[in-house]
Amino acid sequence: MKRKCVRDHFRNFERRPARKGAEIDLRGRVWLQHVQYQNQLTPSQIGQALYGERSVSNLVAKWLRGSVSPTRHSALAIERRYPGSLWVFDLPLWPLLKDAPISSVTVQRLKRPYLEKPGLIPMWKFPVDDDDVWRRRTAPASEFNTGGLVARNDLWGLIGVVMLVRLYEATRETVRYLDACQDMVRALPGALRLPWIRPFADQMIDCVDRIRLRDFYALLFFDIDREIILRQADDSTYEPCRELRTIDPATGCFVEIEDPVLPATFIPGTRARAMKQSAS
């Protein structure tokens, strides 16, 4: 069963026409940026690869602006000509970022290809992971270990965390949802460091924030610091995995990093009253 948030109910009440979501625009633009980056192509060269010399009303430029979304048929045509980009178009991230209810069954279906069970506990296994666990950057994360997914510092870590956020939203597990939402924010720099995603950082953060705000408690308990997210995405030395950071010679501890999650501070009612009285 899908869990609707307040915005969903308002949309139904007002009977607004269906609107193309920001995540759909993002999918097309990120995919096209990847095609350009990987193959060193200009938009006009991509258009010629698809349609030859005939005019198509500058369709590729419209894709780049997000005013028109490319279809999977077009993505397949590019894949045949320039292999290695269809996976970006087909990423499970795009339906997960949709600001709309999603069922736990749907999330489980999207998760299934990325989990393996070598022992008693299912572990995440993404397409970029090597079969030899000791050659991986960090140890593999168990199914519900969002901190381990953040430590990956890559796009797939973000995808895994978003899957868990949407699962907890659908199953109404508020405490787990709040924890996963915070790690979803912390996982953003690892995805945004990719040169073909970085131009759309603001839009990516907007999509993640809309998912966060689907639950009232996430709105109440913390905010996000966009500047820290962007700073970490652009910092080649940024390391979310504590054990891989350098040691601070002054403290003998691992170097601390900035946290883009800004927890809310709650004060007792008596103190709030005293502060109000002292201000008047």
pLDDT exceeds cutoff 90 at 243? no
Q: How confident is the model at residue 122 (pLDDT cuts 50, 70, 90)?
A: very high
Q: Are 233 and 240 in contact (CB under 8 A)?
A: no
| Residue boundaries of the structural domains of the chain | 1-90, 93-280
pTM: 0.85
**Parallel/antiparallel/unpaired status of strands 123-124 and 115-116:** antiparallel
Share of the chain above pLDDT 90, in %: 55
pLDDT > 70? residue 133: no
What confidence category does residue 18 fall into, taking pLDDT thresholds of 50, 70 and 90?
Answer: very low
pLDDT at 10: 44
Average pLDDT on 234-253 reads 90
Distance CA 170, CA 5 (A): 10
Beta bridge partner(s), residue 116: 123
Cβ atoms of residues 271 and 279 within 8 Å: no
| CATH topology classification for 1-90 | 434 Repressor (Amino-terminal Domain) (1.10.260)
pLDDT in tens, 43-94: 888 887 777 765 555 778 888 887 888 889 989 989 998 999 999 999 999 9
Given a cut of 90, whether residue 137 has pLDDT beyond it is no
pLDDT tens figures, 29-50: 999 999 999 999 888 888 877 7
Report the pLDDT averaged over residues 9-37.
68
Average model confidence (pLDDT) for the chain? 86
Residues 41, 200: Cα–Cα separation, whole Å: 19
pLDDT (0 to 100) of residue 165: 97
Closest by CA to 114, choosing from 75, 161, 151, 79, is: 161
pLDDT at 48: 79
- Residues 46/78, Cβ–Cβ less than 8 Å: yes
Question: Between helices 43-51 and 72-81, what is the axis angle to 10°?
Answer: 100
Please state at what angle helix 201-212 crosses helix 174-192, rounded to 10 degrees. 180
What residue type is assigned to position 206 of the chain? D
Give yes or no for residue 145 having a pLDDT over 50. yes
Percent pLDDT > 70 in the chain is: 86
- Predicted confidence at residue 150, as pLDDT, reads 96
pLDDT, tens digit, 9 for 90 and up, residues 106-118: 999 999 999 998 7
Sequence-ordered list of residues with C-beta below 8 angstroms from that of 78, at least 6 positions apart, any chain: 35, 46, 49, 50, 85, 86
Report pLDDT for 2: 61
Q: What local confidence, expressed as pLDDT, does residue 220 receive?
A: 87
Q: How far apart are CA 37 and CA 200, in angstroms?
A: 14
